[in-house]
Structure 1
């Protein structure tokens, strides 16, 4: 059993080093958030591991900030598996404890994309915190972010289940990351400084050697949006990337969709349910 837990930009090089050295009957699981963007489209890291090593790869994601798990505070996680329930049961048994509950669902791509995309939404939530905009605004950004997570995931992989987003890997992890994660923390500092200090500088100052994944992921997601002409479908994701690279000020996080806002102003029935 192989467990992969590393910044996602190193996965491919690690797999290449392992080629020819792994038992073909071994099983892998990825705890890594992110994706690789290739010329022919995005590739999930679990698929990349399978491609390079020729072994099954499940994923483990969830609302479980590491230091709280280390203190044995109750939390949950989700294993996403492909088809073999015996493999899923093995991973649940390997990770589950009385204080760490693990559920398994047959949706590798959905679980993995939840863990990947929530970091982009957490960056947006951090901008809101840094600008002092309050809980109403933050809740709105989180709701919009969840909606874009679901839409993006289902466009990439139509088999992704809506139910996945109500597991620990989905809305629970999104809430945790938007209130307590390091992506939110650094994004808050970025917004407080008016975008004048880079994410790299703030990461080095605030994270004590830990790596920030949300900004990289936002860039990768934006590459997909650009290549497929999806920018207007996912305006929040696009805006997070543009703010992170300095093309827009942090304050535009609440002005991420001017076109929709103008339509609503002209026709108040737009966006009204019922």
Structure 2
């Protein structure tokens, strides 16, 4: 599908108030951005959004970011540290954050008065967050949301299973439209201002224009497309394939093998999305950053690849470790998405009796959870 026109006009006819006596017009309301999440990726996106909010007409300068409060040994509360030093030293150290980005520990205070909500929490925490925000009067009923959460939600039944993207989950819980953001974006690189691209799947041209305004900049180029499901599924499934890439690295195999795994993985990602979300576009995987580019980046530099490599190496060295142990040892408080998504996808395909159509997804699960020999990953490909 073709990208939407994305030029943001804060004085579009439905959105301005005219003062005939003064001969002026002004926005009917200021757009106010709230960031629900403060991990490395959330902080990097919050930095981009806050920089843009400070310069865009029609936007409130202040951007609030929800931080799950914790004590940093010898330094005090994390919110105080962020607001004083303008760095998130726990999750994105040595990256300067703009002064108008404010860390807040109460999620209800973060979203108070906000019209644009970015959700970027680990998916394990989302149900509790939505439970708090869905209460009457907490969020603006005319607000819009965007999800940068990587994962899926599966509902298992006696007669099968259903699968949902997180934009869908957010829309249903809060009754507001939700877009999806995903692309070849390593958080630290985005935080340092290195050039990259991202894709935003949107439900309408207005969402395209607003989110383009929030995130687009000289070093962070945004391409909105009308494919919320495709962007969201690509962001979830690429973490499963990145684990397979990590298994390849853990076995000490070379670029030929890794390239083959990525090719098979991209095919399964696209096939899965189009089979179970038929309104999605195949171009999302081949033409946009949310597809092949994101898969490549994650399979060479992401946390899922890193932990999957360590998982196989530890097993080969006779000192096996669980993914929970590796998450604790290697990720500095961050959470793995790939291992949970691999399980959800496997259970869904098993319930739908479609495992034979996705041999790589099947093997990633069995290596991770059923002690399958990683060398068997190449069977049936």
* Structure-1-length-normalised TM-score: 0.91
Matched, 1:75 2:196: yes
User: In structure 1, which of residues 60, 63, 83 is the aligned counterpart of residue 181 of structure 2?
Assistant: 60
In 1, distance between residues paired with 2:366 and 2:124? 21
- Map 1:65-144; keep pairs closer than 5 Å: 65-82=186-203, 84-144=204-264
Residue deviations 1:174-213 (CA, integer Å, cap 9, x gap): 0000000000000001111127211111111111111010
C-alpha displacement of 1:96? 0.9
* Structure-2-length-normalised TM-score: 0.66
- Map 1:16-27; keep pairs closer than 5 Å: 16-19=131-134, 20=136, 21-27=138-144
- Tell me the equivalent position of 2:324: 200
In 1, distance between residues paired with 2:348 and 2:147? 22
- Map 1:1-274; keep pairs closer than 5 Å: 1-19=116-134, 20=136, 21-39=138-156, 40-82=161-203, 84-165=204-285, 166-194=287-315, 196-255=320-379, 257=380
Larger helix percent: 1
The secondary structure found in structure 2 opposite 1:194 is helix
C-alpha displacement of 1:13? 1.8
| RMSD over equivalenced CA pairs, Å | 1.0
C-alpha displacement of 1:247? 3.1
In 2, distance between residues paired with 1:247 and 1:144? 22
Can you give the 5+ residue segments of structure 2 that lack an aligned partner in the other structure?
1-115
C-alpha displacement of 1:240? 0.1
Q: How many residues align?
A: 256
Asked if the contact 1:63/1:168 (under 8 Å) is kept, the reply is yes
The secondary structure found in structure 2 opposite 1:232 is helix
In 2, distance between residues paired with 1:204 and 1:23? 37
C-alpha displacement of 1:8? 0.9
Residue deviations 1:85-136 (CA, integer Å, cap 9, x gap): 0111110110011100000000000010000000000000000001011000
In 2, distance between residues paired with 1:90 and 1:111? 17
Q: Which moved more, 1:111-120 or 1:30-39?
A: 30-39
The secondary structure found in structure 2 opposite 1:204 is helix
- Tell me the equivalent position of 2:48: none
In 1, distance between residues paired with 2:267 and 2:361? 11
In 2, distance between residues paired with 1:80 and 1:8? 19
Residue deviations 1:52-104 (CA, integer Å, cap 9, x gap): 1000000110001000001100000000011x201111101100111000000
Can you give the 5+ residue segments of structure 1 that lack an aligned partner in the other structure?
261-274
Residue deviations 1:18-43 (CA, integer Å, cap 9, x gap): 01211110000000000111134111
C-alpha displacement of 1:254? 2.2
The secondary structure found in structure 1 opposite 2:356 is coil
Q: Which moved more, 1:191-200 or 1:26-35?
A: 191-200
The secondary structure found in structure 1 opposite 2:315 is coil
In 2, distance between residues paired with 1:243 and 1:79? 33
Asked if the contact 1:11/1:45 (under 8 Å) is kept, the reply is no
